[in-house]
Amino acid sequence: MKYTEMLQSSLSRWPDRIDISNGYVLEDGGGFFPVLSEIWDRVEREEEKRSSLHGLFSWSIFSGFHHLARKEKVKNKTEALKADLSPEVIYHQFSESFYEKENGWMKDYPDFIDDYQKTEQVGHNSGGCAPSA
């Protein structure tokens, strides 16, 4: 499966809207969003059953939502929308984690590696984060 296909497949497991009304942003720039964390726990369990690479996608998407939730909370918004996720944030988090385990990923996912490297060359916002139809 290709990077963009896996991203879209993993995104389809996330809701279009996540309630962040009971979350908060910390002074150090971090934050805690209970509903987002609950959703991530559920999605991660499902994705890990598919493969460790799917689990990595769930972590990367969670990171994208968390980044968005902090920005939205500062603006007094109560929801984080999947359509507003930044492909760059997801890609950055994915890349950071992906290269940590490069040897394992290279051996286990050679076809994916080839497509992923092509995605890097073209620009990381391939695939987008809007809900698929």
Splitting the chain (133 residues) into consecutive groups of 10 residues, what average pLDDT does each group show?
86 97 93 98 94 90 97 97 96 82 59 67 50 39
Return all residues near 32 (Cβ < 8 A) that are at least 6 apart.
Answer: 23, 24, 26
- Write down the pLDDT at residue 52: 85
Query: pTM value?
Result: 0.81
| DSSP string computed for 60-127 | HHHHHHHHHHHHHHHTT-SEEEGGG--HHHHHHHHHHHHHHTHHHHHHH-HHHHHHHHHHHHH-TTTT
Rounded to a whole number of angstroms, the CA Rg of the chain reads 15
**C-alpha to C-alpha distance for 18 and 75, rounded to whole angstroms:** 15
| Per-residue model confidence (pLDDT) at position 98 | 78
What confidence score (pLDDT) does residue 102 get?
A: 55
